Amino acid sequence: MKLITAIVRPEKLEAIREGLESYGVQGLTVSSASGYGRQRGYTEVYRGAEYNVDLLPKIRVEVLATDEQADDILDVIIASSNTGRAGDGKVWTVDVFEAVRVRTGERGVAAI
C-alpha cells in the first residue's frame, strides 16, 4: 500500500476530487497547509532589503491506495492540479506498512 500526499493550490481541490472519483478512489483526506517552493513565496522589497512576505496557502490531499493504483493516482492528481504556473505543488508517495478500516477492523488492501 501507498500513501500519496499532494500539497497543491486550494482552488484545485474540486478538480482533484472529481478526477480521483472518476478514477475510482473511494476516499481521501484534506487538510490545510502553507508553504513555499523555489520562488520562496511572494518576495517584497522593503527599504532596500528583500523579505519573504508570507507562506502561500495550500491544501494537503492524502490518498491511501494499493501499490497498483498509486502511479495512476499520482497521474490523476498531477493532471488535475497543473496550471502551468509556479506554485502548482508537490506530490510524494510513501510506503504504508499497515492500514485498518476502523468500523470493520479490516486490514491491508481490504481496508482501503
Ligand X SMILES: Nc1ncnc2c1ncn2[C@@H]1O[C@H](COP(=O)(O)OP(=O)(O)OP(=O)(O)O)[C@@H](O)[C@H]1O
Q: Give the binding site for a second copy (CB under 8 A).
A: 1-3, 6-8, 17, 21, 26-38, 40, 52, 55, 58, 60, 64, 70-71, 74, 77-78, 81-103, 105, 111
Residue type, 82: N
Q: Give 16's strand partners.
A: none
User: Which lies closer to ligand X via its Cβ, residue 50 or residue 62?
Assistant: 62
The smaller minimum CB distance to ligand X, of residues 51 and 92, is found at 92
Q: Which stretch binds ligand X (CB under 6 A): 11-19, 43-51, 57-65, 66-74?
A: 57-65
54: CB partners within 8 A, 6+ apart: 34, 41, 42
Give the shortest CB-55-to-ligand X separation in angstroms: 7
**End-to-end Cα spacing for the chain:** 9
Give, as ranges, the residues between 69 and 88 that touch ligand X (CB under 6 A).
Answer: 86-88
Is residue 31 within 8 Å of 57, Cβ to Cβ?
no
Q: Which of 26, 37, 10, 35 is nearest to 73 (CA)?
A: 26
Contacting residues toward ligand X, per CB under 6 A: 7, 26-29, 33, 35-39, 56, 58, 62-64, 86-90, 101-103, 112
